[in-house]
Amino acid sequence: MKAEILTLLRQRQDYISGQELCEKFGVSRTAVWKAVNQLKKEGYVIEAVQNKGYRLADVPEILSKDELESRIRTAWAGSPVYFYDEVDSTNIQAKRLAEEQAPHGSLVVADKQTAGRGRRGREWESPAGSNVYFTILLRPQFHPGQASMLTLVMALSVAKGIKSLTGAEAGIKWPNDIVLNGRKIVGILTEMSAEPDFIHHVVIGVGINVAKQGFPEELEQKAAALETELGRKVSRAALIQKIMEYFEEDYTVFVKAGDMSLLIGEYNCRLVNLDREVCVLDPAGEFNGIARGIDKNGELLVEVLDGSIRQVYAGEVSVRGIYGYV
């Protein structure tokens, strides 16, 4: 009931009488009063005025199950919410929950990860209280061959979420890093459990560096974080909420087309590699060329010296800017 009261207070932005809350939830005034007190203890500033009722006066930066549930109003993306103060990895936890029949759209969020994982077996530093670590669980009904494109869909939704919440023009470094001012601020790790022709589930894990504190010193120098780049505070819960809203839309568009064809324009206009020279680290041989955007399969089109176009598939290679990361 706490999350529902919070939802109502948030929507109303004005006083709601204790009576109305009692009636809505079919509970006593004392039960409402207790729930409101609990929320106050968690840090919400709730005014209680006689004859008027309760009003949400301020929401400090809180990341919790209630906070997320009261914000996320999508049809399926981000529901239910599984929140952990500490977990090994939200991707690993999402896979566990998938085995326990958690539904399509389930969202796993943690304040801290003790075994956060990046791509290619790397670690993902995940200190408490400062960043976003979440994983969404999907049960797609399409062919496993299409699943690698979901990473690109999520990259698009994250870039749009950041832009909408903060105004920052976050770019995408193909296939799925998010970059601000030339530095990586978001990483995405997609994992799938499938048979050759059937997907059991896909988990898409997103790590966003929001504040810098808590990183080991060597990373402190290298890492970029949203708040540091913007010079102001960013609400982690609001960021997750926005991303869920965009992801629900973008995923629906993706499924309708069965590929990236309806999202190419939006993706390419955020692509930081576009029309820039890239070095393609292909295990079969490195080559340089000019990135010309993605095609409908999410492959990067790279124009090589003789003017021909090579399609680069995300799973096999990585791409570097020739003068650095981008």
Binding segment (CB under 6 A) for ligand BTN, from list 71-79, 116-124, 220-228, 315-323? 116-124
* Choices 160-168, 182-190, 276-284, 302-310 (CB under 6 A): range interacting with ligand BTN: 182-190
Cα dihedral 191, 182, 209, 250, rounded to 10, equals -50
Please, is 153 exposed, middle or buried when counting C-beta atoms within 10 Å of its C-beta (0-12, 13-18, 19+)?
A: buried
Work out the widest C-alpha separation in the chain, in whole angstroms. 78
**Minimum distance of ligand BTN from residue 205's CB (angstroms):** 3
Q: At residue 81, what is the residue type?
A: V
Q: d(Cα 212, Cα 225) in Å, to the nearest integer?
A: 6
CA 207, CA 26: separation in Å to the nearest integer? 40
From 64, 70, 113, 148, residue interacting with ligand BTN (rule: CB under 6 A)? 113
Asked whether position 78 contacts ligand BTN by CB under 6 A, the answer is no
- Of the pair 56, 152, the CB lying nearest ligand BTN is at 152
Q: Which amino acid type is present at position 169? A: E
According to CB under 6 A, which residues from 193 to 212 bind ligand BTN?
A: 205-207
Number of residues that bind ligand BTN (CB under 6 A): 18
Among 18, 53, 161, 187, binds ligand BTN (CB under 6 A): 187
Which segment (50-58, 187-195, 235-243, 270-278) binds ligand BTN by CB under 6 A? Answer: 187-195
Candidates 251, 27, 235; CA nearest to 131 is: 235
Q: Is 171 in the site for ligand BTN (CB under 6 A)?
A: no
Shortest approach of ligand BTN to residue 132 CB, angstroms?
Answer: 8
In angstroms, what is the minimal distance from the CB of 21 to ligand BTN? Answer: 36
Does 119 sit near ligand BTN (CB under 6 A)?
Answer: yes
Q: Which of 53, 105, 116, 171 binds ligand BTN (CB under 6 A)?
A: 116
Number of helices (H), then strands (E), in the chain: 10, 14
Note whether 289 binds ligand BTN by CB under 6 A: no
214 scored as a contact of ligand BTN (CB under 6 A)? no
Phi, psi of 38 (to 5 degrees): -60, -45
Amino acid at 93: Q
Nearest residue to ligand BTN, using CB?
Answer: 187
Calculate the CA 313 to chain-centre distance.
Answer: 23
Q: Does 106 bind ligand BTN (CB under 6 A)?
A: no
Nearer to ligand BTN, 114 or 252 (CB): 114
Per-residue DSSP letters for 176-208? TEEEETTEEEEEEEEEEEEETTEEEEEEEEEEE
- Within 13 Å and on the Cβ side, how many CA atoms surround 225? 23
Residue 321: alpha-carbon gap to chain centroid: 25
Q: Does 90 help bind ligand BTN (rule: CB under 6 A)?
A: yes
**Residue-level length of the chain:** 326
Which CB, 24 or 184, lies closer to ligand BTN?
A: 184
Q: Which is nearer to ligand BTN, 47 or 123 (CB)?
A: 123
Q: Which has the closest alpha carbon to 259: 141, 139, 147, 178?
A: 147
Q: Is 133 in the site for ligand BTN (CB under 6 A)?
A: yes
| 188 contributes a contact to ligand BTN by CB under 6 A | yes
- DSSP one-letter string for 29-74: HHHHHHHHHHHHHTT-EEEEETTTEEEEEE--S--SHHHHHHH---
By CB under 6 A, residue 175 contacts ligand BTN: no
Which chain residues interact with ligand BTN by CB under 6 A?
A: 89-91, 113, 116-119, 122, 124, 133, 135, 187-189, 205-207
